[in-house]
Amino acid sequence: MLLLAVSIVVSLTIGSSGISVRDVWGILLHQLPLFSKEAGSYSAGEIAIVTQVRLSRVLLAVLVGACLALAGTGFQGVLRNPLADPYTLGVASGSSVGAAFIILFGLQAAMGMWTIPIVAFATGMATLLGVFWLANHKGVIHMETLILSGVILQSFLGAFVSFMVSMSDGIVNQILFWLMGSLAMRGWDHVYMLIPFLLIGLPLLLAYGRPLNLFVLGERHAAHLGIHVEQTKLIVLIGSTLLTAAAVSVSGVIGFVGLVVPHLIRLLVGPDYRLITPLSAIGGGIFVLWADTVARIALTPKEIPLGVVTALIGAPFFAYLLHRRKKGQGGAL
Amino acid sequence: MIEVREVIQDVNGRQVLKGVSFTFQKDRMYGIIGPNGVGKSTLLHLLSGVDRPKQGEVLLSGRPLTSYPRKMIAKQMAVLQQNGLPPVGFTVREVVSMGRYPYQNWLGSEDEDSVKLVEESLVAMGLKELELRTMDQLSGGERQRVALAKLMAQGPAILLLDEPTTYLDIGFQSQLMDTVRAWQRKSGLTVIAVLHDLNLAALYCDELVVLHQGKIEAAGTPQQVLTTSLIEQVYETKTTVISHPITGVPQMMLQPNFKG
């Protein structure tokens, strides 16, 4: 928590227009009703940069990270597969098809700034339904079949996206950049859009902490202890998918967060989902925030796609932790 | 206590149980025996309520099992599985505490003193020294003891065992069965165990139920059931039955049948 707060402030301060730490704090404090009486000695431009541009972006990074890491925790808990992540069931590919389609045909303005998020969200959810439909066998959904169905639909839709990318000579970059994920040019509206999903998803996954712990022992063990196995799987999967679809629709496909953050937390605190779930949300927030900070300042004035940064930072760090763990005691993930 | 009535069940499209009826009484230890693939574990899955029969019904204390909420069943009935617990990162104490899940509300708290019950289960299974170890640091036999301690913490009236000794050496086998039998006597449990080893079944069970070709072929005390003719009919192998020199229960001796 503390680390998150510090990260937010530091990240707020770093930026291409060079406003000092003191000024950032001053501007923020002046926004609070208690301090607003004091005359502000800051220019309107500085205030706008801090409150409109940076604060919203920083919060959005935290929320997107939290959504993705939470979803990853849910997917890994239910699928009990270390390679599971928020995109395993093809939600991201579904969203990508929708977004690529909109960009390719230049329909961004159809519903204002919300066109891409809404379409991406809808196609993502439709993909999930398709995956469930493929995996459903007489009312029972086997996890292996579910994962396979996800993989199949993912590659099928991935082909569509590649096709659209190849068809659009002039705007290739735009689709590709969306696919690689970015938080640039977003605003408070995007923050507000994510909050309800997080408000539902976080308590839901927290409430399922103990059942997920029992899932670690195996589905039959969980059933013998009085858990509705099928119902639990469905609720956690749908909750996680909603979080994923919401995050993807505002930020594009940011890889690695949902896969690695829950693993990192698990390596640090052990297998208890009552700890993993909340800490993953916080850890995901911190991770994406730093990745986004690097993405926007490393090569100013150019921005690096966020998905590139998360993978570049995340993979080596994860490898290091795995290596250390292997030397330490050789436990399984 | 728990009863199956005319249950019919398919596994992978093949009819395995073809109309099985039996009533298991309180304070008895039952062994379910029979050849491979005869539906012993299938019957146990029906009794546990995890699977539902295609036809017929399972009654717990006279009421259909399906009419109980899941957690209510878990308070009445605990299941020890063949493959035991996986080597996960939870500590022994954490796993044993999971046995209390059916008694907890959604916040994870409960009325009864679960710490004391968990403590007693750990002591009873001789796991006190290992309580802070994680499961992935234990041997297979130790993990099976943890599984049993978890069931003890669950505080059931009925205990279902699905070939609990399969992966254990004979030392752990008799240790496990001794523990179960002592617990059964002390608490008046109904124990229903699927067992592969006929001699082990005869040593520990009050009654044996023999499944053959989807039906109950015979049921009764080991003396009544384990006869040379029945074994030959069901398992298609010749045996000699002798009486155990100490306890007097029947024990099976195989007869090799090859020339040369």
pLDDT in tens, A261-300: 998 888 888 889 999 999 999 889 888 888 888 888 777 7
User: Does B90 contact A271 at a Cβ distance shorter than 8 Å?
Assistant: yes
Task: State the pLDDT at residue A193.
Answer: 82
* Residues A78-136 pLDDT 10s: 888 777 888 888 888 888 888 888 877 777 666 666 777 788 888 888 888 888 888 88
Q: Is A326 an 8 Å CB contact of chain B?
A: no
- Contact list, B78 vs chain A (CB under 8 Å): 224
What's the pLDDT band for B209 if we cut at 50, 70, 90?
A: very high
CA distances to A29, A131, A176 from A117, rounded to whole Å, are: 32, 21, 16
Task: State the pLDDT at residue A100.
Answer: 82
Mean pLDDT: which of A117-131, B100-114, B220-234 is highest? B220-234
| β-bridge mates for residue A141, sequence order | A136
* Lowest pLDDT segment from A290-299, B141-150, B194-203: A290-299
The nearest alpha carbon in chain A to B78 belongs to: A224
* Mutation for testing the A interface, residue in B90, B96, B192 having most A CBs under 10 Å: B90
User: Does A210 contact B101 at a Cβ distance shorter than 8 Å?
Assistant: yes
Q: Is B134 an 8 Å CB contact of chain A?
A: yes
Phi then psi for A136, rounded to 5 degrees? -75, 125
Q: Is B108 an 8 Å CB contact of chain A?
A: yes
Average pLDDT on B96-102 reads: 91
User: Does B89 contact A225 at a Cβ distance shorter than 8 Å?
Assistant: no
Task: State the pLDDT at residue A330.
Answer: 43
Q: How many CB atoms lie within 10 A of CB A141?
A: 18
User: Does B90 contact A272 at a Cβ distance shorter than 8 Å?
Assistant: yes
- Contact list, B101 vs chain A (CB under 8 Å): 210, 214, 225-227
Domains by residue range for chain B, with CATH:
2-254 (3.40.50.300)
Task: State the Cα–Cα distance between residues A48 and A17, nearest whole angstrom.
Answer: 12
Return the percentage of chain B with pLDDT > 90, whole number: 64
The nearest alpha carbon in chain A to B147 belongs to: A221
- A333 pLDDT more than 60: no
> Do residues A82 and A72 make contact, with C-beta atoms less than 8 angstroms apart?
no
- The interface residues of chain A toward chain B in range 235-294, judged by CB-CB distance below 8 A, are 266, 270-272, 274
| Candidates A207, A225, A274; nearest CB to B98 | A225
Q: Is B70 an 8 Å CB contact of chain A?
A: yes
**B250: which 2 tokens?**
């029947």
Interface A–B counts its CB contacts (< 8 A) at: 65
Cα angle at B90 between B174 and A330, to 5 degrees? 95
Identify whether A301 is preceded by a cis peptide bond (ω within 30 of 0).
yes
Average pLDDT on B185-195 reads: 94
Phi then psi for B257, rounded to 5 degrees? -135, 70
Mean pLDDT of all residues in chain A?
A: 80
- Kindly report the nearest CA distance between residue A232 and chain B, in angstroms: 13
- Contact list, B102 vs chain A (CB under 8 Å): 225-226
**A102: which 2 tokens?**
């909109």
| Extended strands (E) in chain B | 2-11, 14-24, 29-33, 55-60, 63-64, 77-80, 158-162, 190-194, 207-212, 215-220, 239-243, 250-254
Task: State the Cα–Cα distance between residues A64 and A60, nearest whole angstrom.
Answer: 6
Contacts of A241 (CB under 8 A, 6+ apart): A71, A86, A89, A91, A124, A125, A128
Task: State the pLDDT at residue A332.
Answer: 43
- Higher per-residue confidence, A110 vs B20: B20
- Contact list, A82 vs chain B (CB under 8 Å): none
Q: Is B13 an 8 Å CB contact of chain A?
A: no
Q: Is B54 an 8 Å CB contact of chain A?
A: no
Task: Give the number of C-alpha atoms closer than 13 A to the C-alpha of residue B213, restricted to the C-beta side.
Answer: 5
Task: State the pLDDT at residue A39.
Answer: 47
- The interface residues of chain A toward chain B in range 202-231, judged by CB-CB distance below 8 A, are 207, 210, 213-214, 216-218, 220-221, 223-228
Q: Is B11 an 8 Å CB contact of chain A?
A: no
What's the pLDDT band for A189 if we cut at 50, 70, 90?
A: confident
- Kindly report the nearest CA distance between residue B199 and chain A, in angstroms: 28
Return the percentage of chain A with pLDDT > 70, whole number: 77
- Contact list, A272 vs chain B (CB under 8 Å): 90, 94
* Residues B33-45 pLDDT 10s: 999 888 899 999 9
- Contact list, A263 vs chain B (CB under 8 Å): none
Task: State the pLDDT at residue A173.
Answer: 66
| Candidates A213, A331, A332; nearest CB to B98 | A213
> Do residues A44 and A209 make contact, with C-beta atoms less than 8 angstroms apart?
no
